[in-house]
Chains A and B, each alone.
Chain A
Amino acid sequence: MSTRNQVLKLYKMLLRESEKFESYNFRSYAVRRVKDAFRENQNLGNGDALKEKISEGHKNLEIIKRQVLISQMYKTDRLIIENMSRN
């Protein structure tokens, strides 16, 4: 797989997992942070810096997966603005 595809796949996986956070605040933060991080690093080139970022991304993906599970175990009521936007 080319590096470009690798990065794209990682990006999609990170976003898909972030969307699963139960907590509104953690979910919005994770999605926003992933998008901003990829935007910040879009001109990183193809060297070691990119490889480092990719492995960092994979580590974060694992963290998000575990934390999503925990957030789904201890649910709370939805926030008032979440209920508003659904109506």
Chain B
Amino acid sequence: MNKLIQRNNAQKIFMYFIKNIKLTSTFSRNLTTDNKFQIKEEFSGRPLYLDAQATTPLDPRVLDEMLPYLTSYYGNPHSRTHAYGWESEAAVEKARTQVANLIGADPKEIIFTSGATESNNIALKGVARFYGSKKKHIITTQTEHKCVLDSCRALEAEGFKVTYLPVKTNGLVCLEELEKAITPETSLVSVMTVNNEIGVKQPISDIGKLCKSKKIFFHTDAAQAVGKIPLDVQSMNIDLMSISGHKVYGPKGIGAIYVRRRPRVRIEAIQSGGGQERGIRSGTVPTPLAVGLGKACEISQQELSYDHARIEKLSKRLLDMIFKELTHVVRNGDPIQMYPGCINLSFAYVEGESLLMALKDVALSSGSACTSASLEPSYVLRAIGTDEDLAHSSIRFGIGRFTTEEEVEYTANKCIGHVKRLREMSPLWEMVQEGVDLKTIKWSQH
């Protein structure tokens, strides 16, 4: 009996391919044959932008602050002998204060870098190498950004031991497991604040407290969190923090790293040079970009609750619309401990790439921009134990300061329509509707 069902299903799938081949061949000859298979839709205009985790637009207020330093005030902020240098230096120092204020730090603890990737490299390699003669162990998680994981790989090649902590199915780190992983050899714990793919917020305060009690440095990659959720390096016991400019409506090409001074965290510099930024990051500070990052941080601080309330509202609207119309949709990551501007959904029985192709009029992504070129499912989704097929069908919706209600509604409606259309084409969906449990099917004969 069981075998019979299997054969029937196999036949069904075979028939589907035959049917499909026929239809696609007519499709290529005549575009109007069957609009069920017509992927190329007519639309005019630029696509909507719903990928706020990849990057955000430059806020006009930030550009307005930057422009004088791109035109009139071009002095090198490190020139000490003339007014051109002094005015640039003053602007850079003002920006440093603006960044520090947003995270409750002292301006002297902020170091400008080229972005969060560089900040993460400095934090991990810098701390590990400085304390490397005594302590040779680092702890991080499996869901970190590529640049943290890759820095750890590089350190492993240098002889460091790295623990890649697994996360729970909701994407959060288990504190007991973290505590168990800590050894007297451990010099650094690095856990990101908000995940770039699934938007979960890690228990940063608790991890900070634990690390402080064990006298271990705590680094957090807060690129997706700064300016979006309240952060305070004092109350959260953070020793190092990575900040990115272009994720807070600032310019691309600048970021910052917070390095605690009391008790002092010492770092071995990666870049050699003129000793700017307290020797931690040599190279002339790009005044206009620093000014932009500073202004972006100031605006984010003023607008934090306004933006958050707004993004929460839009996020709820999107979820309500999609969950009302579609079944078999899974939300990846913890639904409560998360930043509402990042929604990661898996649409079962739909291939994520096909859905992205169909949704050409909306700029969306299936996960991190760094890995969006490959068709491999995201390692973050695999780490939270998402099934292979669901990991392949995930889409990330990124809502930001400039997203409108119309954009969210348009996206939700388009998404619902395409998911329904693609499911109707899928033999798997048909089988699920008939009550076949797909997990029991043996797909190959060997």
Mark A residues whose CB is within 8 Å of B.
21, 24-26, 28-30, 33, 36, 60, 63-64, 66-67, 70-71, 76-83
Q: Are A25 and B45 in contact (CB under 8 A)?
A: no
Do A63 and B64 form a contact, CB below 8 Å, given A79-B48, A80-B43?
yes
Interface residue count on the B side (C-beta < 8 Å): 21
Chain B residues positioned under 8 Å from A28 (CB to CB): 402, 404
Rounded to whole angstroms, the CA-CA distance of A81 and B47 in the bound complex is 9
> Is B403 on the interface with A (CB-CB < 8 A)?
yes
> Is B317 on the interface with A (CB-CB < 8 A)?
no
Q: Are A66 and B64 in contact (CB under 8 A)?
A: yes
Mark B residues whose CB is within 8 Å of A.
43-49, 57, 60-61, 63-64, 306, 361, 401-404, 406-407, 410
Q: Are A25 and B410 in contact (CB under 8 A)?
A: no
Rounded to whole angstroms, the CA-CA distance of A29 and B311 in the bound complex is 12
Instruction: Give the dominant DSSP class at A's interface.
Output: helix
Chain B residues positioned under 8 Å from A77 (CB to CB): 45-46
Shortest Cβ distance from residue A6 to the other chain B in the assembled complex, whole angstroms? 23
Rounded to whole angstroms, the CA-CA distance of A36 and B44 in the bound complex is 32
Q: Are A81 and B60 in contact (CB under 8 A)?
A: no
Which of B46, B61, B403 makes the CB contact (< 8 A) with A78? B46
- What 13 new A-B contacts, CB under 8 Å, besides A63-B60, A78-B46? A25-B49, A25-B57, A26-B60, A28-B402, A29-B401, A29-B402, A30-B60, A67-B60, A70-B63, A80-B48, A81-B45, A81-B48, A81-B406
Task: Select from chain B the residue with minimum beta-carbon distance to A87.
Answer: B44
Rounded to whole angstroms, the CA-CA distance of A26 and B406 in the bound complex is 14
Rounded to whole angstroms, the CA-CA distance of A28 and B314 in the bound complex is 14
Rounded to whole angstroms, the CA-CA distance of A66 and B401 in the bound complex is 21
Chain B residues positioned under 8 Å from A24 (CB to CB): 404
Do A79 and B46 form a contact, CB below 8 Å, given A26-B402, A28-B404?
yes
Task: Select from chain A the residue with minimum beta-carbon distance to B407.
Answer: A81
Do A79 and B402 form a contact, CB below 8 Å, given A36-B306, A63-B60?
no
Q: Are B404 and A67 in contact (CB under 8 A)?
A: no
Rounded to whole angstroms, the CA-CA distance of A85 and B197 in the bound complex is 32
Rounded to whole angstroms, the CA-CA distance of A25 and B404 in the bound complex is 7
Task: Select from chain A the residue with minimum beta-carbon distance to B64.
Answer: A63
Chain A residues positioned under 8 Å from B407 (CB to CB): 81
Q: Are B60 and A80 in contact (CB under 8 A)?
A: no
Which of B45, B64, B402 makes the CB contact (< 8 A) with A80? B45
Q: Are B45 and A79 in contact (CB under 8 A)?
A: yes
Do A63 and B49 form a contact, CB below 8 Å, given A26-B402, A80-B44, A83-B44?
no
Rounded to whole angstroms, the CA-CA distance of A24 and B57 in the bound complex is 12
Chain B residues positioned under 8 Å from A29 (CB to CB): 401-402
Q: Are A82 and B401 in contact (CB under 8 A)?
A: no
Shortest Cβ distance from residue A83 to the other chain B in the assembled complex, whole angstroms? 4
